[in-house]
Amino acid sequence: MKLHILGICGTFMGGIAALARELGHDVEGSDANVYPPMSTQLERLGIVLKRGYAAENLVPPPELVVVGNAMTRGNAAVEHMLDERLRYVSGPQWLGETVLATRRVLAVAGTHGKTTTTSLLAWILESAGRDPGFLVGGVPANFGVSARLGGVSLTPPSASADGPPLSRFAGEGRMSPPAAADFVIEADEYDTAFFDKRSKFVHYRPTIAILNNLEYDHADIFPDVAAIQRQFHHLVRTVPRNGRLIVNAEDARLAEVLAQGCWTPVETFGVDAGDWRARLTAPDGSSFVVSHAGSELGLAEWTLGGRHNVMNALAAIAAAHAAGVAPADAIAALATFRNVARRMELVAEHAGIRVYDDFAHHPTAIATTLAGLRAKVGTARILVGMEPRSNSMRMGAHADELAPSLADADAVVFLKRPELPWDAARIVDALGGRGRTAASVDALVDALLAQVHTGDHVVFMSNGGFENAPRRFAAALAAKG
């Protein structure tokens, strides 16, 4: 089938493209913003990319248009698609009906940590010999692709089957190995498409679901945190009785979601509370002891750091255990885990200066990431270049929390593009001499170069391309000598 994907360079839609290509479809797509790592992956797969959203991109007409949630009415390609009565579907619906319906789905939901936790869970299952399929909102270094189909799937639901794919082991909290291949999916609460305003994750019908955390975000579509909780409860309603919910025991908002109704066995996790716990044996979280129901199960040692990543690991270990993977095997897999691109990715080191690229979109994520780095580097200076790019950031929904989230930074250069609709001066003022603004990426790079010294750690934080700022800074640093 000939598919055209609108918004193909988004991390989710790029994954859809990879899966469709693996299924044997003829895939092409359009996007206005083409940048790595997704553009690189698509080009490697031989998928034709068309820049922009001209109506001509859909001529001759494809057999199916898969529509990304960044598409809106008024977009030239969307208007042409509707005028010509082309067959179309949202990305999440296509995924749910075409791929997930014949697999056992393990979904990872939450405001923070979805990509890392999804990658962790996929790697644990891979290390256990499960050959999982997955779709991740990034490119996990262990796999080199953001999505793949994985192993053999179930007989389609319309055919006869011998009962549910999961059954409990007697006396244990695990489930038997599935007849279906496992598929691990990053379950986003953002809306599905311009014609379907439900959260993406309601299309996935998971058997095992992680609820990692819940905070206010996506101010462009959710009026308040209660609206997000309502969508999370819609997800909870889709998890079967013979499935499992893996829930952050330290998150009061998730407890409120479950209080609305829960029909599935729940296991909890947390550093300080829950069925699954961690005792840090290194202050930066690079090693920790995992325990379950009060019994210590093993020591985890890995290259990641930060309390938030320890929480992500606990969630992945608990979900893998629910899928039948022994905790000792899951813990051992952490040692060989390599994180996703742009999650505190070290992109360069020159003259004792380390440069990182981090996908930051929310004050809590900024604070926990910097706290993890501070625990690792001690008193070394941390410099931050920040772009407020997410819809919530651009709208100013998180403005009051931004300065406190940067407490561990010694200096901050804040990208204040002319079109930013709110005044960033109050954030700079609140940083007490540690902050300044820059009107362009060039100016931001120059400002960081002017104050960086040997031994510093420079972190670029944005959930967009940031005009390749980390690598431009690294190149300028190298040229400076």
CATH class held by domain 345-480: alpha beta
- pLDDT confidence bin for 165, thresholds 50/70/90: very low
Digit-coded pLDDT (tens) for 25-50: 999 999 998 766 677 878 888 899 99
**Structure token pair of residue 109:** 């939901």
Highest mean pLDDT out of 200-214, 388-402, 424-438: 200-214
**Is 369 annotated in some ligand binding site?**
no
- pLDDT confidence bin for 401, thresholds 50/70/90: confident
Q: Which superfamily does CATH assign the domain made up of 2-92 to?
A: NAD(P)-binding Rossmann-like Domain (3.40.50.720)
The domain made up of 99-336 has a fold known as: UDP-N-acetylmuramoyl-L-alanine:D-glutamate ligase (3.40.1190)
Mean pLDDT score of the chain: 89
- pLDDT confidence bin for 325, thresholds 50/70/90: very high
Highest mean pLDDT out of 73-82, 178-187, 428-437: 73-82
**Is 321 annotated in some ligand binding site?**
no
**Is 376 annotated in some ligand binding site?**
no
Would you state the pLDDT for residue 179? 54
Kindly state the percentage of the chain with pLDDT values over 90. Answer: 68
Q: What is the mean pLDDT of residues 223-242?
A: 96
Would you state the pLDDT for residue 11? 85
Indicate if the pLDDT at residue 455 is higher than 80: yes
Least confident of 15-19, 273-277, 372-376: 372-376
**Pairing relation of β-strands 287-292 and 295-301?**
antiparallel
For the chain, give every domain's residue range. 2-92, 99-336, 345-480
CB-CB contact of 102 with 93 (8 Å): no
**Is 111 annotated in some ligand binding site?**
yes
- pLDDT confidence bin for 170, thresholds 50/70/90: very low
Q: List Cα–Cα distances, 179 to 102, 104, 161, 174, 357, in angstroms.
A: 10, 8, 10, 15, 40
Q: What is the mean pLDDT of residues 58-80?
A: 97
Would you state the pLDDT for residue 162? 34
Would you state the pLDDT for residue 422? 66
Highest mean pLDDT out of 143-147, 250-254, 402-406, 415-419: 250-254
Distance CA(2)–CA(452), nearest Å, equals 51
**Is 336 annotated in some ligand binding site?**
no
Q: What is the dihedral of CA 117, 121, 126, 130, to 10 degrees?
A: -150
Q: What is the mean pLDDT of residues 15-27?
A: 95
Q: Which residue has the higher pLDDT, 41 or 470?
A: 470
Q: Write out 235-248 in H/E/C secondary structure.
A: HHHHCCCCCEEEEE
Three-state secondary-structure class, residue 408: coil
